[in-house]
Amino acid sequence: ALSVGHLSDRLAGTSALVAKPITEPSLSRDDIKFIQTSLNQLGFDTGEPDGISGPKTRGATRQYQRDTNLPIDGYVGYQLLQQLQAP
């Protein structure tokens, strides 16, 4: 299943797998729900916020990154959380 998801991401023109930076803290499900809710409110469809970083959340993250001129990796991590929490 992982290889199928990776292949579909690659066919969609996204970058290769991205490892979590060693110094970056892990996100809780509540953190991911906050990201999903925030992206949905900004018009980037993550689906129903469930706290799981699935294909729709990664796709919405890539769209957000593209529209805000950030590196497009689809990584749902601490840096994205901080950007969405900023006033």
| pLDDT score of 7 more than 80 | no
* pLDDT over 60 at 76, yes or no: yes
What SS3 class is residue 72?
coil
What integer is the mean pLDDT of 63-82?
Answer: 94
The answer on pLDDT for 33 being more than 90 is yes
pLDDT of residue 24: 80
pLDDT higher than 60, residue 16: no
- Structural domains of the chain sorted by starting position, each given as residue range(s) with its CATH number in brackets: 18-85 (1.10.101)
C-alpha separations of 8 from 4, 5, 12, 17, 55 in Å: 6, 5, 6, 12, 10
Average predicted confidence (pLDDT) for the chain: 87
Tokens of 60: 């919405």
The pLDDT of 48-68, averaged and rounded, is 97
| Highest-pLDDT range among 1-10, 11-20, 48-57 | 48-57
DSSP states of 7-35: HHHHHTT-----PPPTTSPPPPHHHHHHH
